[in-house]
Amino acid sequence: MESNKDEAIRCIDIARNALADGKLERAEKFLQKAEKLYETKDAKDLLEKLKGYNKENNATAEETTGPYMRREKKTSSKAEAPKASEPDYSSDQIEAVKRIKKCKDYYEVLGVTKEATDSEIKKAYKKLALQLHPDKNKAPGAVEAFKAVGNAAAILTDSEKRKSYDLYGEQTPSSRSAEHAAHNYSGFQFGGYSRGFDSEYTPEEIFSMFFGGSFPQQNVYMRQRRYQRTGDNQHAQREQQNSYAALVNLLPILLLIMLSMMSSFFISDPIYSLQPNQKYSVQRKTANWKIPYYVKDNFHSEYQGSVSRLETAVEEEYYQNLKHKCFRERQYRESMIMKARNFGDANLYRKAQNTPTPSCDDLQKLSSF
């Protein structure tokens, strides 16, 4: 399906990286998955290349395990007759491996419920990982058990993959129609510890992410420390980029604040006000229309402009205010008249017609000047 193309390309990229690291089985697994999702020429070519590698490896193995070599090994093994050694693992360790082997789903592997939070899942993983890590647990099957708990933790702490796992169970939607006979057995078999849900990371990488790159009281692999240093560097770079982005986002706000502060220094108070207040307390009247207006106490000392021009501005503002008020008063009266007509109420109609319009009356008086 075309919708699976992106996922198939991602699997091919993972396979290429595995080939570069010499991990042929991992590469083959992801190439086969890519072919199931969406057939591509790249996947087919890489699978052919893998077959060539496998033939070469088989030929080399045949040379080193021919009849003569087998006879020699058989003779030397009889001569040496090694003594049976005590197992270097405890009963608790082998029991832990057996428990994982019997599990049927990821939740059972980690010993958590389906309602478990991320923190509960991480806590359960850390406990099991310490118990099953190959450097600490030498019991048969410990490596695969370690892989199983790592894959379980990686899937269940990823919200999208966990949702898909909860919906489709052990198989992804793309693999439900392509079941193989080898996977028909029940139980959480180690041969397929991913159970159709592959993590993008190896078990050691998952362990490194959960434990910060170090195994308690031991050095697991130098590779872990390299990943940790790389992660720290990337984290520092992201923090620096986030700081720059935050600063860029704040620049417009800072600019507006600066402009508003600067404008407050340059914008002065009006010379007059048509309404008295604490600041404008001294009353004056215009020479022409006798319109009252109010100025500050220091008007005579501060104002150096033309008083006649100022009063013309006062009268113009007063006139415009009256026009707006008159318009609103007439609108109100007309709406009352329409309401009375709709109801057929003669008393309400007469009352609406007699609605006062004082601003219109004052405007009419000014027109006589």
The three-class DSSP label of residue 197 is coil
Q: What is the pLDDT of residue 205?
A: 67
**pLDDT tens digits, 127-148:** 898 888 888 888 888 899 999 9
Whole-number Å distance between alpha carbons of 3 and 170 = 21
The three-class DSSP label of residue 87 is coil
Q: What is the pLDDT of residue 220?
A: 42
Q: In the Cβ-directed half-sphere of 307, how many Cα atoms lie within 13 Å?
A: 11
* Cβ-based burial of 190 (10 A; exposed 0-12, middle 13-18, buried ≥19): middle
Place of tokens 């009356």: 361
Q: What is the pLDDT of residue 283?
A: 94
Q: What is the pLDDT of residue 219?
A: 44
- Which residues of the chain are modeled with pLDDT < 70? 1-3, 54-86, 169-201, 203-205, 207-238, 263-267, 369
Q: What is the pLDDT of residue 223?
A: 46
Q: What is the pLDDT of residue 230?
A: 57
Q: What is the pLDDT of residue 185?
A: 36
Place of tokens 């058990």: 145
Q: What is the pLDDT of residue 335?
A: 93
Angle, helices 118-132/203-211, rounded to nearest 10 degrees: 120
Q: What is the pLDDT of residue 326?
A: 94
Q: What is the pLDDT of residue 331?
A: 94
CB 194 within 8 A of CB 203: no
The CA distances from residue 218 to 29, 105, 190, 221, 222, in Å, are: 31, 31, 26, 9, 11
